Amino acid sequence: MLFKNFFKSALSESDVTDENIYRQRRELLTKMGYLGAGALVSGLSPYGHANWFSGDKKPNFVTSDLTYKAAENISGQLLTSEEKVTTHNNFYEFGSQKHQPFELSQQFKVNPWQLKVSGECDKPFTLDYDDLFKRFELEERIYRLRCVEAWSMVIPWQGFSLANLLKQASPNSKAKYVVFETLHDPEQMPGQANRRLGGGIQYPYTEGLRIDEAMNSLTLLSVGLYGKTLPPQNGAPIRLVVPWKYGFKSIKSIVSIKLVSSPPQTTWNQLAPQEYGFYANVNPMHDHPRWSQATERRITGNGLFAASRINTLPFNGYGEQVAHLYKGMDLHKYY
110 vs 145, which CB is nearer to ligand MTE?
145
Among 17, 87, 90, 158, binds ligand MTE (CB under 6 A): 90
Q: What is the C-alpha to C-alpha distance for residues 68 and 42, in angstroms, rounded to an integer?
A: 7
Name the minimum Å distance from CB 175 to Mo ion: 27
CA distance 125 to 258: 11
Question: Sign of torsion, CA 134 154 259 176?
Answer: negative
Letters for 134-163 (x = contact with ligand MTE by CB under 6 A, - = none) are -----------x-x----------------
CB atoms within 10 A of CB 85: 24
Residue 248 found at the interface with ligand MTE (CB under 6 A): yes
Q: Which does 120 bind (CB under 5 to 8 A by kind): ligand MTE, Mo ion, none?
A: none
Chosen from ligand MTE, Mo ion, none, partner binding at 250 (C-beta under 5 to 8 Å by type): ligand MTE
228 lies in the site for ligand MTE, by CB under 6 A? no
Residues 54-84: b if buried by 16+ CB within 10 A, e if exposed: eeeeebebebebbbbbbbeebeeebbbbbbb
Please report how close the Cβ of residue 147 comes to Mo ion at its closest, in angstroms: 3
Choice between 45 and 182, CB closer to ligand MTE: 182
Q: How many angstroms separate the CA atoms of 249 and 268, rounded?
A: 9
Smallest gap from Cβ 311 to Mo ion, in A, equals: 19
Nearer to ligand MTE, 120 or 296 (CB): 296
Q: Is 222 in the site for ligand MTE (CB under 6 A)?
A: no
Q: How many residues bind ligand MTE (CB under 6 A)?
A: 17
Beta-carbon contacts of 222 under 8 Å, excluding residues fewer than 6 positions away, are 157, 158, 159, 230, 235, 238, 239, 240, 241
277 binds Mo ion (CB under 5 A): no
Taking Cα atoms as reference points, which of 20, 22, 23 lies closest to residue 12? 20
Task: Name the segment binding ligand MTE (CB under 6 A); options: 36-44, 57-65, 104-112, 250-258.
Answer: 250-258
Strand 151-161 and strand 206-210: pairing? Answer: unpaired
Find the binder of Mo ion among 22, 248, 276, 318 (CB under 5 A): 248
What is the strand order of the sheet 206-210 is part of?
A: 125-128, 114-119, 254-260, 177-182, 206-210
Question: Per rule CB under 6 A, is residue 259 in the interface with ligand MTE?
Answer: no
CA distance 190 to 186: 6
Count of C-beta atoms within a 10 Å radius of residue 7: 18
Among 7, 92, 315, 318, binds ligand MTE (CB under 6 A): 92
# residues near Mo ion by CB under 5 A: 4
Taking the C-alpha atoms of residue 129 and residue 220, their distance in angstroms, rounded to an integer, is: 18
C-alpha distances (whole Å) from 285 to each of 146, 299, 305, 328, 331 are 15, 22, 27, 16, 9
- Of residues 91, 157, 160, 177, which one binds ligand MTE by CB under 6 A? 91
The yes or no reply on residue 41 touching Mo ion (CB under 5 A) is no
Q: How far apart are CA 265 and CA 248, in angstroms?
A: 14
Minimum distance, C-beta of residue 335 to Mo ion, in the bound complex (Å):
15
Min separation Cβ 315 and Mo ion, Å? 16
Residue type, 211: I
Q: Is residue 268 involved in binding Mo ion (CB under 5 A)?
A: no
Question: Interface with ligand MTE by CB under 6 A: which residues?
Answer: 89-93, 145, 147, 182, 205, 234-235, 247-248, 250-253
Residues near Mo ion (CB under 5 A) are 90, 147, 247-248
